[in-house]
Amino acid sequence: VLSSAQDFDFFYFVLQWPGSYCDTKQSCCYPTSGKPAADFGIHGLWPNYNDGSYPSNCDPDSSYNTSEIRDLLDRMRTNWPTLACPSSDGSKFWEHEWEKHGTCSESMLDQHSYFATALNLKNQVNILQSLKSAGIEPDGGFYSLTSIKNAIREATGFTPGIECNVDESRNSQLYQVYLCVDTSGSQLIECPVYPRGKCSSRVEFPAF
Ligand code: 5GP
Ligand code: 5GP
Ligand code: 5GP
């Protein structure tokens, strides 16, 4: 119906660098399938409003159902690994993402489309390659925040949001990359609003 046709304005497609999740004070646990590749992994596809606020947990009646995405599970394990402790196969992480975020874009994407869309976006953008092409490597070195944003803009055509966290020595490090996507999940767009990134002007890119 018309009143529910526009229940969010755009998506954040959020990728996490596993090295920066794992080298924090909290540490991390590898999934039961083993250590993930040294690559950005999917954190989520998050419906958002143009004013920076966002809806969450929109439909308590739509629970996560593995059987709907059985054909995607191999790609999920590779591209959407969980690093939270204790070790698990990832389904709790994916369930959380569906229930908190995915249920808020159900007017556009059902559960299978939601996960397939995130996997397809991951295929479309190679953030690690974009950074390496600009000489920005996960080698524990420090890089200017501007150079990181520029490298991703060169490769994708769009300026990303960058979020940092801190390692055990309190160094600011590259944690998550936010790209903006239209409400159908098919096209990258210029971000209407950027998340508070918490980065210093120079940030570490730790190894994984
Ligand atoms: P969520 O539960 O966001 O709502 O996530 C909170 C949990 O994730 C907390 O238990 C927190 O310790 C963990 N967490 C959040 N950020 C990080 C991080 O950068 N590294 C690790 N290892 N854990 C994190
Ligand atoms: P944090 O407080 O660690 O930045 O975020 C905790 C959780 O809140 C995220 O995992 C995500 O579920 C949600 N979140 C944080 N910032 C945003 C945002 O800007 N947009 C949306 N849609 N969700 C967010
Ligand atoms: P958010 O609410 O921030 O979208 O999702 C974060 C939630 O997923 C937290 O409860 C966190 O504990 C859980 N989680 C499980 N695996 C991961 C992971 O690999 N990265 C992050 N950031 N959160 C994870």
**Domain that includes residue 29, residue range:** 2-126+160-199
Q: How confident is the model at residue 5 (pLDDT cuts 50, 70, 90)?
A: very low
C-alpha span between 93 and 73 (Å, rounded): 13
- For the chain, the domain total comes to 1
Q: Is the CB of 158 under 6 A from ligand 2?
A: no
Instruction: Report if residue 168 sits inside a domain.
Output: yes
Instruction: Report if residue 137 sits inside a domain.
Output: no
Q: Which sequence positions are flagged as catalytic?
A: 43, 97, 101
What spacing in Å lies between the alpha carbon of 173 and ligand 1's midpoint?
15
For residue 163, give the 3-state DSSP assignment: strand
Instruction: Report if residue 103 sits inside a domain.
Output: yes
> Which CATH number is 79's domain given?
3.90.730.10
Pair of tokens at residue 82: 């969980």
Q: Looking at residues 113-137, what average pLDDT do you find? A: 98
Sign of the alpha-carbon dihedral angle for 18, 165, 122, 151: negative
Task: Evaluate if residue 32 carries a pLDDT over 80.
Answer: yes
What spacing in Å lies between the alpha carbon of 2 and ligand 3's midpoint?
33
Residue 41 CA neighbour count, 13 Å, CB half: 26
Q: Which residue's CA is minimally distant from atom 15 of ligand 2? A: 195
Pairing of strands 10-16, 172-181: antiparallel
Interval 130-142: pLDDT, tens = 999 999 999 999 9
